[in-house]
């Protein structure tokens, strides 16, 4: 199953927005506070609701972390008791099987007790799908007893951090790596100069180089991020049929590696992984645009505020440079103008 579309009304910055997705790489851009991460977390929460023990409303609350875990805090803050709605649609590639998950709540809804519809079929059709969210901030170096501390409310991290740690600890693969996976792992290892290992006795992650191990807390931030990608590819999390959500892949990563990151994302998609990511980086967005083949499915989505008010809108294009509302391109053009002006 692949995510096909979403409709959102009266939630955080979204007054009313409807977006169709492609089966490949879906790239979200936009200025700060235009809802890119909110959109990723809503979609991720829907995907993780394929489990019988996971409620859609509860998962949204656990990823968005509103005060007192009240889903009503996510309703648009305009005056009046607006009805908040989310509908996420999914389908097989042949579109012979589809499913949707819908949630409704308002400012009077208690805790996460929202009205959810379509759960039974969603669980059935999505049961074999796995999904993972890579946050913008690195977390594996803080993994020691984090899940246990969070469960008793000693510290607070949203579920994307807890989920990624749990996924990183478990190896669901068996035997030798398939050729495609082995090749990807080798490419990432060139950036990390090592492999990531988990020590269950110490509940800690390490970067292994030959016979020596380095504490993950001592590893550079960008290397940690690439190491996490290596680990998810190695342990079977990013397999055909899975969905990857990645918030700002470029954060703390050496710009020289962004070309390879774009290639890895395209490779994951070609191996059957649907991808949703947000970025502020011109080079990453442009590299994906340049390196994709004609038959590759890549869509760009620009989130922007309506000039007259009314929440965030979304513009879609299959080419990064064809987006009219493109703050990334505008910034780089302004840099060029400033440089020319100085030289003159």
Higher pLDDT, 215 or 146: 215
pLDDT at 178: 75
pLDDT over 90 at 147, yes or no: no
Across the beta sheet with 195-199, what order do the strands follow? 195-199, 204-209, 212-215
pLDDT band at 156 (very low <50, low <70, confident <90, very high): confident
- Residue 174 pLDDT exceeds 80: no
| Statement: residue 344 has pLDDT above 60 | no
pTM of the model: 0.94
Tell me how far apart the alpha carbons of residues 218 and 299 are, in angstroms, rounded to a whole number: 37
The model's pLDDT over 49-63, given as tens digits with 9 standing for 90+, comes to 998 888 999 999 999
For 284-311, b where at least 16 C-beta lie within 10 A, e where not — what string? bbbbbbeebeeeeebbbbbbbbeeeeeb
Strand ranges in 77-142 using DSSP code E only, listed in sequence order: 84-91, 98-105, 115-117, 131-134
Instruction: Kindly list the distances between the CA atom of residue 146 and the CA atoms of 150, 159, 301, in Å, as whole numbers in the listed order.
Output: 6, 11, 34
Calpha distance 343→334 (Å, rounded): 14
Q: What is the pLDDT of residue 333?
A: 86
Helix (H) or strand (E) holding 204: strand 204-209
Rounded CA separation 276/230 (Å) = 18
Share of the chain above pLDDT 70, in %: 96
Identify the pLDDT of residue 274. Answer: 97
DSSP-assigned letter for residue 80: S
Give the model's pLDDT for residue 299.
97
pLDDT in tens, 81-96: 889 999 999 998 766 7
Structure tokens at 223: 């290397």
Q: Place 260 in a pLDDT band, splitting at 50, 70 and 90.
A: very high
Sheet with 243-247, edge to edge strand ranges: 131-134, 243-247, 274-278, 25-30, 298-305, 312-317
Q: What pLDDT was estimated at residue 309?
A: 72
- pLDDT of res. 172: 61
Tens-place pLDDT, residues 14-26: 999 999 999 999 9
pLDDT value at position 310? 73
pLDDT of residue 148: 75
Q: Residue 149 — very low, low, confident or very high, per pLDDT cuts 50/70/90?
A: confident
pLDDT mean across residues, the chain: 90
Phi and psi of 178, rounded to 5°?
-60, 160
Alpha-carbon span 71 to 62, nearest angstrom: 10
The pair phi, psi for residue 48, each rounded to 5°, is -75, -10
Beta-carbon-side half-sphere exposure of residue 292 (alpha carbons within 13 Å)? 23
Residue 237 has pLDDT above 60, yes or no: yes
User: Quick one: pLDDT band at residue 65, thresholds 50, 70, 90?
Assistant: very high
Closest CA to 304 of 26, 35, 6: 35
Confidence of residue 8 (pLDDT cuts 50, 70, 90): very high
Are residues 298 and 275 in contact, defined by beta-carbon separation less than 8 angstroms?
A: no
Q: What is the largest CA-CA distance in the chain?
A: 66
Which pLDDT does position 110 carry in this prediction?
87
Output the CA angle 54-56-59, nearest 5 degrees: 70
Q: What distance lies between CA 19 and its chain's CA centroid?
A: 16
Q: Report the C-alpha gap between 144 and 303 in whole angstroms.
A: 36
């Amino acid at each position: 199953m692949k995510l096909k579309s979403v409709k959102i009304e009266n939630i955080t910055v979204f007054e009313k927005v409807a977006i169709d997705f492609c089966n490949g790489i879906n790239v979200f851009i936009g200025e700060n506070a235009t809802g890119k991460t909110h959109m990723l977390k809503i979609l991720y929460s829907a995907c993780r609701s394929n489990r019988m023990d996971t409620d859609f409303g509860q998962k949204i609350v656990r990823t968005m972390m509103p005060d007192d875990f009240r889903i009503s805090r996510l309703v648009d803050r305009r005056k009046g008791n607006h009805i908040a709605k989310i509908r996420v649609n999914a389908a097989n590639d042949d579109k012979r099987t589809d499913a949707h998950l819908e949630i409704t709540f308002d400012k009077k809804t208690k805790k996460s007790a929202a009205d959810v519809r379509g759960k039974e079929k969603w669980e059935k059709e999505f049961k074999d799908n796995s999904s993972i969210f890579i946050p913008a901030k690195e977390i594996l170096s803080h993994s020691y007893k984090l899940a246990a501390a969070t469960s008793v409310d000693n510290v607070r991290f949203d579920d994307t951090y807890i989920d990624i740690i749990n996924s990183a600890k478990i190896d669901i693969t068996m035997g030798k790596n398939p050729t495609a996976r082995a090749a990807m792992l080798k490419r990432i290892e060139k950036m990390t100069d090592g492999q990531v290992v988990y020590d269950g006795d110490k509940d800690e992650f390490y970067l292994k180089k030959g016979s020596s191990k380095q504490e993950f807390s001592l590893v550079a931030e960008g290397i940690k991020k690439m190491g996490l990608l290596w680990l998810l590819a190695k342990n079977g999390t990013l397999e055909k049929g899975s969905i990857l959500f990645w918030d700002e892949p470029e954060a703390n990563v050496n710009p020289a590696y962004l070309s390879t990151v774009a290639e890895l994302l395209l490779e994951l998609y070609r191996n059957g992984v649907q991808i949703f990511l947000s970025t502020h980086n011109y080079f990453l967005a442009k590299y994906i645009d340049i390196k994709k083949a004609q038959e590759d499915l890549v869509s760009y989505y620009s989130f922007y505020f309506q000039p007259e008010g009314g929440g965030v809108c979304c513009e879609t294009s299959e080419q990064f440079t064809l987006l009219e509302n493109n703050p990334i391109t505008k910034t780089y053009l302004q840099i060029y103008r400033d440089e020319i002006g100085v030289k003159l």
